[in-house]
Amino acid sequence: MPLSQLQLRAFILGLLLILTAALGVDVFLKGGLVAAVGQSTSEGLLTVAFLDVGQGDAIYIETPDGVQLLIDGGPDGSVVRELPKFMSLFDRSLQIVLATHSDKDHIGGLIDVLELYEVENIVRTENTNDTSVAAVFSALESKENATTHYVRAGQDFALGASTTLLILSPGSNPEGWESNTASIVAQLTYGEISFMLTGDAPLGIEEYLVESSGPLLESEVVKLGHHGSRTSTADSFLAAVDPEYAVVSAGKNNSYGHPHESVVDKVQAQGSTLLSTATNGTVVFKSDGKRVWVE
């Protein structure tokens, strides 16, 4: 007996739901389920976009399994104008938002993100500072229907089946620390390709990571700490990471002189290609797990 048009539509819808469920991706933290999310992309590529948000940091990541992660949000609402360049206008959800630390140039834009997007997981540390921006962020975080994770070195996320995010710092509860020192430092890895993401971690933290992690730090791409300030990018750290590309997230004609000339010299001496949002705008990397390139 032939199916009616209504029955056929119902059959097709049911089949699509089954396929969607089959393509779902689990996100894990330390072996514990955080969320069932994502849909495999047809390209099978990792996207890492260092967003042009002025003098601040914002990094959008989409894994080959469809997991969407935003690390920091810059100083203001610029981030919500950048995200639609990588996400559908109808996509108003993020699986993970990670705040490296509580300075305005990193969490200011996350206020707009929490207001406009549904966030499933918030990753941060206990560290905060006594500013109105930090207070507003914390208030919105408490209202968001999200799970908050306070992380430590050694914890790792499995962002679907193919991509991991390893937390390298802080090693202990950073409550009361100076905010830059408390920055989350993480290494994103897809196949043979890694990205070293440093927040505003200063020289002392970098040098400690060299002592504690050594060869494990090697990564094809590094986001230079503190917008290319000379308070970051220790010689030993840059040598250990040995990046093909070094990225500075900074505003055009910023008053701080970022990236600092000495840091630029270090990167050039290392033989790495320097890219800056101040001069290049948003910097987008793609990777197939064996190689990485600038789009």
Q: What is the pLDDT of residues 228-259, one digit of tens each?
A: 999 999 999 999 999 999 999 999 999 999 99
Domain annotation covers residue 14: no
Determine the structural domain holding residue 280 and report its residue range. 25-294
Residue 15 lies in a domain: no
13 lies in some domain: no
Residue 88 lies in a domain: yes
Q: Is residue 19 part of a domain?
A: no
Residue 52 lies in a domain: yes
Which pLDDT band holds residue 43 (cuts at 50, 70, 90)? confident
* Alpha-carbon distance values, 156 to 65, 109, 167, 168, 188 (Å): 17, 25, 6, 9, 10
Q: Determine the Cα–Cα distance for residues 38 and 63; give it in Å rounded to an integer.
A: 9
| Residue 15: per-residue pLDDT | 41
Number of domains in the chain: 1
What's the CATH number where 67 sits?
3.60.15.10
91: in domain: yes
pLDDT in tens, 89-131: 899 999 999 999 999 999 999 999 999 999 999 999 999 999 9
* Predicted TM-score of the model (pTM): 0.88
The answer to whether residues 198 and 224 touch, using CB atoms and an 8 Å cutoff, is yes
CB 251 within 8 A of CB 50: no
First to last CA, the chain: 53
